[in-house]
Structure 1
Amino acid sequence: MVSTSTPPKRFPENEYVYIEDVESMEQYRPGGYHLVSIGDKLQDRYRVVHKLGHGGYSTTWLAREERSQKLVAIKVGTAKSNPYEVNVLSALATPAQDTTPRERYGRDTMPSILDRFDIKGRNGIHPCYVMAPGQASVSEALEASDSVMFELDVARALVAQLALAVAFIHSRGMVHGDIHLGNVLLKLAPEVDQLSDEQLYDKYGWPTMQPVVRFDGQELPPGIPTHGTVPVWLGKPSDEVRLPEAKILLIDFGEAFEPARKEKYVSHTPLCTRPPEAHFEPSKALSFPSDVWSLACAIWSILGQRPLFDPWLANIDDLTRWQVDAFGILPPEWWLLWEDRGKWFDDNGVPLENREGVFSLGDRFRFSTQEPRQKEGMGVFEQDEEEALLAMLQSMLTYKPGDRSTASEVLDSEWMRKWAMPAHEKIP
């Protein structure tokens, strides 16, 4: 009988069968990940009870601090990881003199480093730092929801906090460099700390382990986990998030930089939220306006059902034509640099006759935000709010970085003052 089952995917560099949502086993090598298992005790103080996730340079674990019995998140870096991110967070946590309420709100969205230490293991010395855990990213909460939206006041409050976070970072001379909804966490509800391990497992599920298998069928070498641990889901769908729970943390400062001290020319922000100067002016250093562009894209995704520009299968030419449709012709020097402009536009930036899929910013707001909100009964924006919101977003999505609103100016905009900040102030 001929088997119709599909063999596991294998890439030439892979030795181990892929496990969904689990880090690459090939990276458990000198300079790479440190082997952590459920039940391990780190620093003779933190008992690992679940896994929260992984990145290219770390794994993150939910642990019980045995003195206080509180839950914490521990990020265990690879041996080659740079401690730069934790140094940035420590600097941002340092109180400044004469702080304003706006700055205090902004600091509340920063992860606090509760402890830091190193672990010496088979693969090297691994920097570790301890933070308060989040429940899930905003992007994960949206993906888990049938409506793919937040209630209107919840969305307004989340946007206000994210803008406060970016303005705070900028006030400290820092650019985040990677603003997107995967890097915005919803804070974990305080009552979760009161759960015992057994109650935690009853509510969120026991750790799920998948056996690690080599493609060649041989035994696992020393230092490779016998099982991959699948991350736990501590969140809830976006449409179930209520205003008292709408509190965020802005995370992942691995791309952060200080323009006054270090020039940076390459943006690693996802393509559809990447500022256009990263493509059209690659020889000019990025700065604070690059965050403002990405912030505008994140705001759009929080408020509606669809991102401003669809990330699926998009390339730089797709993105540029959508931007020209929405915001108008590029600056002259950028326009001439765009070799494929003639496929979609005449020399004056007017869409070619009979071209389909030409959407202005207002069109996109209608079909990605207003219509889905009305259909799902999630609240719509009245005309005066819509006009104020689009005016704010247009000021943030100006092509030339120097013409864009600053993060502070965004907070002073009419929409922020009349709609977003009042929603934020309702949070207990």
Structure 2
Amino acid sequence: MEKDKMELDAKAHVMASDPMSQEQSQAPPPATPPPTKDGSPSSIAVPNDPSSKDPQEDHLKMEGEAQEDVDDAKSDSSNAQYFDIHDDGIASPIEALNNYSPGGFHPVHLGDILGPLSDPSRFRVLHKLGHGGFGTVWLCRDTKDGKPKALKILSGHSSKNAAKECPDLKALQLLTGSVSHEEGLSCSQAAQTHKTAQDLLRNHHIALPSEHFWLPYRPNGSHLCLITPFLGPSLEGFATAYGHVTDLVKHVCFQLVEAMHFMHQKGLCHGDFRPANILLCLKEDVDKMSDEELVEALGGVEVAKLTRTPGGNTPTEGDNQEEKEWPKEFPRYFVGQADMTNLIRGGWCSPSVAVIDFGVSYPVNEPPSKGSGIPLGYAPPEEVIMGKDKHDKEETLIRLGPKSDIWSLGVTISELALDYLLLAESSHDKWDGVTNMEMFMGPIPEPFRSTVRARYKETWGDNGTILQDVDMVIDPKTGETVLSPLSFSIKWWRQRRKYTKEETGYEDPICSRMAIGLRTLHTTRSGADSEAQWAKDKTRLPAYTWEQPQEKEEVELDDDRLIKKFDDIEVFSDLLTSIFKWLPEDRASTADILAHPWFEGRYASKQIWTPGGLVSRLSQGTFSIVKLITGFPHKVGKFFFAAFSRLFGVFANPLWFLHGGRARIARLRDLESQ
């Protein structure tokens, strides 16, 4: 259901429109200047050594007035007994008050101006986009280029850990190593390096910080701030809204495979790949929106006022004593989280996506032995079924790696298409997931089998299923000796598959589930409308709304929700079956997935016809004739061909000149410069 818009009282309106009146120590927010011509950044996101001290300031050393501010904040907070939160009926999520303490969140108000020491008023706060254990995320106006940006402000504790090694910056350095910041670059070179790195990530559907800076010596510590592109809502619930538009689903899923393929080629594993960490991109028109238009597009602003009650005495409005002693580590009010889905309803979202949140990412050759911590519903067997180390703590039985990511990719694709977690009925009980995995993939092999068997015996003892002590059984259908499941009998498994075939026409669990169809929140009419919108304009997502139908005919259709029937059941099942394998080495690679028939027509169009490849193929035709005539041995011919292609290239091919050599040479140079 769509959130009701809140009518704030006069006091709340004043607070939202002029929050700086309560913070006299800061200057009023500056007007937004026009975008700069060169648009060059003031800093490059990736330092040579991410673990080294920030070049702008020593953020860990507090002294003088800065240290006094922190001490004053601690002293003030000791006088406060409790706070009242006057939310005025706020419906948006807000963070917990206890997040604001030394080492916690940085207090932020609407209209605050933030930035690096070199440009402290660069970013103006417009709205809150979210919060979590890491800190808060705010929508800001970048006064340097005039564009909206997302500003992630890490908590004091998170920033202290990030000072040693920030996963986002480490991922950025790994993914853009060939175009990352190098010492000795001029200002224009640094700007071009920055632009090239961000273009590279955007072209591969990845969003990472474009810049970073520190807010040192604040009430709750020093805070690392990461600047990222302003993006739309996540893909959670995507299938409910768009699962019936098959071409759109494939379009989005193909981008995800491309993103993962790029990451793995660069030697990086995401570790937490799921719809919550994949955001829709916004149309370029959003960059031109005013502050008021942006806030309105996000559903407006809701605030929850804080009232301090020290010593058991309730202060009155305008109490000077309260103003004087307000603890510096607390904000004056909470800002409700922006309604990101409103961007879809307003037609501001594009069908492009961006993978975010590299907080648990890791290099391929440095996998975490304790697991990445991905939710169970998206976790591969090697992270669900773990062994014990010598200290009786969990550790992986099989090293995590790219194929672990691919498992999570498969779950994500299935959720975007089918609107449910394919292998996990519960996101809390891992053993329910193991039973489903056996149902889909067959009996558990080693090294997982011994661990699961020990778990069953530990849980049920001698009263457990007899299968926990059995390895090989006779298949009642074929009469062959096969590995036995641990969760159920072969006989029961066969009976279940027989039943599903009678009900749906398919034995395979994936096919049988797809045969039931996808039940969406669209009516037949609205579903057809969104399909028609996508067919007409593939540069934006089809519009949809959760509002109840108003017209009489729509009300009559309200109970007749659209049931999406799949027409490529076997093909999609084959794709998922190639991914969902017990052992990582048996799973498909990203290259295999890109070329799978379910993505037919998409992979071929993405092939890059490089200038080098073009010259090589054209030269090869000429040289093949030469080699045929002269009869060079294979090795000599191979060497001569390589030298021939490099030295003579374009000019060695007579066909080249027949088709306008100069024009093609110019085109090749243009391609090489891109």
TM range (shorter): 0.7 to 0.9
User: Residues 79-114 of structure 1, C-alpha deviation per residue, up to 9 Å, x if partnerless?
Assistant: 2222232231243234479xxxxx968743111433
Matched, 1:327 2:441: yes
1:337 maps to 451
- Farther off after superposition, 70-79 or 321-330: 321-330
Q: Tell me which amino acid in the other structure corresponds to 1:397.
A: F
TM-aligned CA deviation for residue 150 of structure 1: 5.7
Q: CA deviation at 1:296?
A: 0.2
Counterpart-to-counterpart distance in 2, 1:112 and 1:336: 41
2: CA distance between counterparts of 1:410 and 1:400?
Answer: 17
Gaps of 5+ in 1: 1-14, 98-102
Amino acid paired to 1:23: E
3-state SS of the aligned residue for 1:32?
A: coil
Q: Distance in 1 between matches of 2:283 and 2:591?
A: 29
> How far apart in 1 are the matches of 2:310 and 2:439?
52
- 1:80 counterpart residue number: 157
CA distance in 2, matches of 1:263, 1:314: 21
Aligned to 1:132: 229
Contact residue 127 and residue 295 of structure 2 kept, 8 A: no
Shift of 1:22: 2.0
Letter aligned with residue 363 of structure 1: S
Where do residues 16-415 of structure 1 align in structure 2 (5 Å cutoff)?
21-43=93-115, 44-81=121-158, 82=162, 83-95=166-178, 107-120=203-216, 121-139=218-236, 141=238, 147=241, 149=243, 151-212=245-306, 221-236=327-342, 245-281=350-386, 282-310=396-424, 312=426, 314-339=428-453, 340=456, 347=470, 348-349=484-485, 350=490, 352=492, 360-367=509-516, 369=518, 380-382=565-567, 385-415=568-598
- Is the partner of 2:363 in helix, strand or coil? coil
- Aligned to 1:119, what secondary structure does the other structure show? strand
**CA distance in structure 2 between the aligned counterparts of 1:150 and 1:213, rounded to whole angstroms:** 49
Whole-Å Cα distance in 1 between the matches of residues 343 and 295 of structure 2? 19
Higher helix share: 2
Which secondary structure does the structure 2 equivalent of 1:289 belong to? helix
Q: Does the 8 Å contact 1:149/1:238 carry over to 2?
A: no
Q: How many Å apart are 1:390 and its aligned residue?
A: 1.5
Per mean C-alpha deviation after superposition, the further-off stretch among 119-128 and 335-344 is 335-344
- Report the structure number with the largest CA radius of gyration: 2
Deviates more, 1:111-120 or 1:276-285: 276-285
1:423 shift after superposition: 11
Which letter does structure 2 place at the counterpart of 1:335?
R
Alignment match, 2:118: none
Structure 2 portions without partners, runs of 5+: 1-81, 116-120, 181-198, 315-325, 387-395, 458-463, 471-483, 501-507, 532-563, 608-674
Write the deviation string for residues 274-303 of structure 1: whole angstroms up to 9, x where unpaired: 001113342432111110100000000111
Q: Which amino acid aligns with 2:598?
A: W
TM-fit CA distance, 1:134: 0.8
How far, CA to CA, are the matches of 1:23 and 1:334 in structure 2? Answer: 40
CA distance in structure 2 between the aligned counterparts of 1:313 and 1:344, rounded to whole angstroms: 27
Question: How many angstroms does 1:337 deviate by?
Answer: 3.0
**SS across alignment from 2:297:** helix
Aligned-partner Cα distance in 2 for 1:371–1:85: 36
Q: Which residue identity is paired with 2:232?
A: Q
Q: Structure 2 length as normaliser, TM-score?
A: 0.53
Count matched residues. Answer: 401
Helix, strand or coil for the counterpart of 2:331?
coil
**CA distance in structure 2 between the aligned counterparts of 1:237 and 1:49, rounded to whole angstroms:** 16
CA distance in 2, matches of 1:217, 1:54: 31
Q: Describe the shift of the 1:104–1:80 C-alpha distance in structure 2 as closer, same or farther (beyond 3 A).
A: same
RMSD value, Cα: 3.8
**1:233-288 deviations in whole A, cap 9, x for unaligned?**
2335989989x821111000010001324543313111111001113342432111
- The answer to whether the Cα contact below 8 Å between 1:164 and 1:411 also exists between their aligned partners in 2 is yes
CA distance in 1, matches of 2:215, 2:431: 46
Contact kept, 8 Å, 1:395 with 1:405, in 2: the verdict is yes
1:209 offset after TM fit, Å?
0.9
Change (3 A) 1:331 1:88: same
**Is the 1:93–1:110 contact (alpha carbons within 8 Å) kept by the matching residues of 2?**
no
SS in 2 for 1:134: coil
Q: Can you list the C-alpha shifts for 1:179-229, whole angstroms capped at 9, x where unaligned?
A: 110000001222122221222233333321123468999687431123221
Native 8 Å contact 2:419 2:518 kept in 1:
yes
Q: CA deviation at 1:130?
A: 0.9
Which deviates the most, 244-253 or 355-364? 355-364
Quick one: which of 395, 416, 419 aligns to 2:599? 416
Q: Which amino acid aligns with 2:104?
A: G
TM-score for the superposition, normalised by structure 1: 0.81
Q: Which has the higher contact order (CA 8 A, sep 6+)?
A: 1
Aligned residues of 1:345 and 1:352 also touching (Cα < 8 A) = no
Over the matched positions of the two proteins, sequence identity in percent amounts to 24
- 8 A contact 2:209–2:228 mirrored in 1: yes
